[in-house]
Amino acid sequence: MKKFLVLFSTLFALAACNSATNDSKDSTTKSMETATTKSHSTTNLSRSQSSKPSSAKPASTVASSTKMATSAIGTDSTHANQTMTALEELKAKYPNEKFPDPSTISGGKTIGMTASEAQGTLKVTYYVVNEETPFNDSSLNSQTPVAQFQRHTFDSTETAQNEVGQIYDPNGQQVDLGHNITGYQTAGAGSSFLGWKEGNWSLLVRANNLEQEDPKPLAKQTVEYLEEAFLPAPQRAGQISLQVTPSDFQSNTVVWQNNQTVYTLMNADAMNSLKMAVSMAS
């Protein structure tokens, strides 16, 4: 009887062990299966997300895009706020008018400009300035002009021609000015005058006798310059009047007529007045 009980106890213990072992195996298998399923699910989800374009951008990309957009707006704004030069404004205001090249007015110095028009006369006055100055800027009112352009419109061609005021006297002392041009020198009222003609142009150089000035050097320099440079062609009459020693911007004048219009250039420097006129011939 004791042997039977011992044997029964032994078999029951073995059965219990086998059952525990099987339960442990089943639990482990289920846990592994669950983990595998989650892994597949996560992988599929990751693949699904990666296959779709993302609408969100990384913070660095957004910041970079914002910076580029701001830079572009700044560039456009700067370009839009750029102002025209005084010459560009003058031409925009009078698009059908021709003006002298500012670089000829005072040896290439920076030039400020003002303009006014009344009763058929347009006047553009030029000033030497330290920096680019807006067209018609009020600061120029206190400056001393160095040159001026004028355009006068008259009722008839005859009136315009008479307004040129040509001066030519071939009865004075002959002076060889070079290039087969002969000038005629006269004197009066404390001055010496040396005049000659080139086409429809009459030219006159004035010298102050009280200052013992001689008109011949400036006259010869003018003839030499005009051998290479070309003046505007007057329709009927043109007059150039130069002074050896200038006093103001009205000292040297170049005047010519075209139909009913008379153009006048004034400059404190004799040669610059010629250069202004030549710049209008091209």
Going residue by residue through the chain (282 aa), what tens digit of pLDDT does each one get? Answer: 444 433 334 434 434 434 444 444 444 444 444 434 444 444 343 333 433 344 444 444 434 433 333 333 332 323 333 478 999 999 999 999 999 999 999 998 999 999 999 999 999 999 999 999 999 999 999 999 999 999 999 999 999 999 999 999 999 999 999 999 999 999 998 999 999 999 999 999 999 999 999 999 999 999 999 999 999 999 999 999 999 998 899 999 999 999 999 999 999 999 999 999 999 997
Query: Coil, strand or helix: which one is 64?
Result: helix
List strand residue ranges (DSSP E) for the chain, in order: 111-118, 121-128, 147-153, 173-178, 181-188, 191-198, 201-208, 238-243, 252-258, 261-267
Side-by-side strand order, sheet with 201-208:
111-118, 121-128, 147-153, 261-267, 252-258, 238-243, 201-208, 191-198, 181-188, 173-178
Ordered by start, the domain boundaries in the chain are: 22-80, 86-279
Any idea which residue has 């041009």 for tokens? 181
- Take residue 218 and report the two structure tokens written for it: 């400036």
Any idea which residue has 């913070």 for tokens? 59
- The pLDDT value recorded for residue 83 is 75
- The pLDDT value recorded for residue 57 is 45
What is the C-alpha separation between 263 and 234, in angstroms, rounded?
A: 10
CB 165 within 8 A of CB 239: yes
Which is nearest to 196 in space by CA: 250, 256, 239?
Answer: 239
Q: What is the amino acid identity at position 7?
A: L
What residues does 208 pair with on adjacent strands? 191
- The pLDDT value recorded for residue 69 is 35
User: How many beta carbons lie within 10 A of that of residue 95, not counting itself?
Assistant: 7
Q: Which helix (H) or strand (E) holds 135?
A: none
